[in-house]
Amino acid sequence: MGYYVRVESDVHIYVEDINRMSQKTILFIHGWPANHKMFEYQFNQLSQMGYRCIGMDLRGFGQSDKPWEGYDYDRLADDVRSVIGALKLQNITLAGHSTGGAVAVRYVARHRGYGVSKLALLAAAAPSLIQRPYFPYGLKTEDVKQIIQDTYHDRPNMLQGFGNMFFFQHITEPFSDWFFQLGLQAASWSTAKVANTWLYEEKLFQDMGEIQIPTLILHGIHDKVCHFPLAEAQKQEIKNAKLVPFEYSGHGLFWDERDKFNQELAKFIG
């Protein structure tokens, strides 16, 4: 079932809600620059296992509204709060991939984990996606600036290049085309503005220290986007966190090792 949640007077967020009668709920937050459909292989299997799977499209992406402003982590986390409140969710698992994982971290810290009893970080872009003087493990600043420039000049080519580095396992050309289309459904300005927040605003070192709920970290060791040392930093900074490395996965571990991914997530939730 799909519907919209109003998060501002003129901004609505699209939500896909599967197996609504289940008491075990997972709210998925997708990564940049895709949308909730990237979790297709979780929705199919986990719903059959008895879980309620909710996917939301972040503002600017997928079927959500695409305003000009509002792409910092605070605003995106506030959108998550609006969705959780509108759906009256309680004791859920919040699962975020890549930038969605960063938003999930900010949500738990900013909103004190409202409605959330467990956190799953899936190749999360935390504590910092880019390299900093005190954190040398992320992407190079110039590479992110190139992504932003390419977004404004040839977004389809940028998306294709990003997709080519996303998965570790072999993907078919039809699958590659499908994944490419997910990125095209976003607005160009939201695609660029979220990337811009990686550079100048968003770091999550303090946020991670405020997380008190059980946290599962799933991360591919071949990840070329959010390098594996990010997962190790998450494990070190988040109390009560468990790290599960994925030896045959890149950034797209939700597909690369989807059976293991779903099993680990289900085992964590219980």
Q: Is 111 a catalytic site residue? A: no
* Token representation of residue 232: 């190790």
Question: Per the residue annotation, which of 30, 97, 219, 251 is the catalytic one?
Answer: 251
Alpha helices in the chain (DSSP H): 40-48, 73-86, 99-110, 141-164, 173-184, 188-200, 205-209, 228-237, 253-256, 258-269
Question: Per the residue annotation, which of 98, 128, 190, 249 is the catalytic one?
Answer: 98
96, amino acid identity: G
- How much helix, strand and coil, in percent to the nearest 5, is found in the chain? 45, 20, 35
Contact partners, residue 126, CB within 8 Å, separation at least 6: 101, 102, 105, 204, 207, 208, 230, 233, 234
Q: Is 223 a catalytic site residue? A: yes
CB 108 within 8 A of CB 117: no
Question: Per the residue annotation, which of 65, 78, 79, 223 is the catalytic one?
Answer: 223
Q: Is 97 a catalytic site residue? A: no
Place of tokens 């050309």: 173
Spatial distance between the Cα atoms of 103 and 213, rounded to a whole number of angstroms? 16
Active site residues: 98, 223, 251
